[in-house]
């Protein structure tokens, strides 16, 4: 290995604890298993609405960060259902949702909602989209929050993943454990691309460094599901630049409670700058490869 790629061992304790669960204490009086059960009930109820209400031909109601970043009427309806339920079940908690305004709270807890993660898949009828519901303590920012509980519900086939801080991760009753691939070259890696052409151009450049070094790439279109597939060993590694808090809220905790390290590059926690997940030491190699490829940059810096 060239000196430039000499691996330094990631501080899995800090990053793992700091990223998914956050390592912060569970606030007094908070029952994470009670929160897990509520997250599951909310995600499954919204999932039923999305599944049963999907029209034959889905229309784009509006676009957001770019002309290809869609929102549909069902994204909004699903989020309205989640917010209405939370207003009754958890009136003192705050809400951070993809499709609506932030709701302040007094409890110190925030529900982080993605009413349909994988909206483009939903639009095209590609069966990989989910409702993601998480609850966090502290600032509703992946770099500072403590994730307490979460659920990712795959709408089309009903697979349902949940996790609670310190309580492990499960899918439909089966406890989850990440894979421990023997090598980067033998690892199946999940990733995704952004809604801006400039961002995708840089992500494609990074991919030219990653693809020759791994088994293969999977681009499934919903980060929440990707992180849950990692948790159950259906993916060995995952990375993506540009994720929003609601994309990683529940899936990130499912991954860390299944034994994954979840973090960013250059010692940072997972954030919109970069989210990487997997088990050591192979995830260390991926982090170093992404750092060398300037994956957390914007493509204007010369590759290191």
Q: Shortest gap between Cβ of 247 and ligand LIP (angstroms)?
A: 5
222 binds ligand LIP (CB under 6 A): yes
Q: Name the segment binding ligand LIP (CB under 6 A); options: 39-47, 163-171, 177-185, 189-197.
A: 189-197
Q: Shortest gap between Cβ of 76 and ligand LIP (angstroms)?
A: 13
Contacts of 116 (CB under 8 A, 6+ apart): 50, 72, 74, 75, 78, 122, 129, 130, 131, 155
How many residues sit close enough to ligand LIP to count as binding (CB under 6 A)? 14
Q: Name the segment binding ligand LIP (CB under 6 A); options: 50-58, 148-156, 187-195, 275-283.
A: 187-195
Q: Name the segment binding ligand LIP (CB under 6 A); options: 88-96, 140-148, 162-170, 190-198.
A: 190-198
Report residue 60 as tokens.
């784009």
Q: Which of 223, 265, 276, 290 binds ligand LIP (CB under 6 A)?
A: 223
Q: Which of 68, 77, 108, 195 binds ligand LIP (CB under 6 A)?
A: 195
Per-residue binding string, ligand LIP, 242-261, x by CB under 6 A, is: -----x--------------
Q: Are residues 239 and 261 in contact, defined by beta-carbon separation less than 8 angstroms?
A: no
Q: CA 11, CA 16: separation in Å to the nearest integer?
A: 8
CA atoms within 13 A on the CB side of 174: 11
Backbone angles phi, psi at 89, to 5 degrees: -75, -35
Question: Which residue shows structure tokens 């990989």?
Answer: 128
Q: CA 179, CA 190: separation in Å to the nearest integer?
A: 13
Residues within window 103-132 making contact with ligand LIP, judged by CB under 6 A: 114, 117-119
């Amino acid at each position: 290995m060239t000196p430039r790629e000499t691996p330094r061992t990631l501080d899995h304790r800090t990053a793992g604890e700091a990223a998914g669960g956050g390592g912060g204490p569970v606030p007094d009086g908070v029952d994470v298993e009670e929160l897990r059960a509520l997250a599951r009930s909310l995600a499954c109820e919204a999932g039923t609405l999305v599944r049963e209400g999907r029209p034959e031909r889905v229309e784009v109601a509006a676009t957001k960060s770019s002309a290809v970043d869609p929102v549909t009427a069902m994204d909004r309806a699903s989020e309205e259902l989640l917010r209405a339920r939370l207003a009754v079940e958890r009136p003192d908690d705050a809400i951070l949702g993809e499709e609506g305004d932030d709701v302040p709270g007094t409890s110190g807890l925030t529900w982080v909602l993605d009413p349909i993660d994988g909206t483009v898949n939903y639009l095209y009828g590609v069966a990989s989209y989910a409702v993601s519901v998480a609850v966090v303590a502290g600032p509703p920012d992946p770099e500072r929050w403590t994730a307490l509980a979460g659920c990712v519900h795959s709408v089309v086939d009903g697979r349902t993943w949940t996790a609670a801080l310190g309580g492990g991760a499960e899918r439909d009753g089966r406890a989850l454990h990440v894979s421990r691939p023997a090598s980067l070259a033998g690892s199946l890696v999940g990733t995704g691309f952004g809604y801006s052409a400039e961002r995708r151009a840089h992500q494609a450049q990074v991919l030219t460094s990653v693809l020759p070094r791994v088994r293969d790439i999977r681009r499934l279109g919903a980060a929440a599901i990707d992180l849950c597939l990692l948790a159950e060993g259906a993916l060995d590694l995952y990375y993506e630049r540009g994720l929003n808090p609601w994309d990683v809220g529940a899936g990130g905790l499912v991954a860390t409670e299944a034994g994954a390290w979840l973090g960013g590059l250059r010692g940072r926690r997972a954030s919109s700058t970069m989210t990487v997940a997997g088990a050591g030491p192979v995830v260390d190699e991926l982090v170093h490869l992404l750092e060398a490829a300037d994956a957390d940059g914007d493509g204007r810096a010369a590759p290191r």
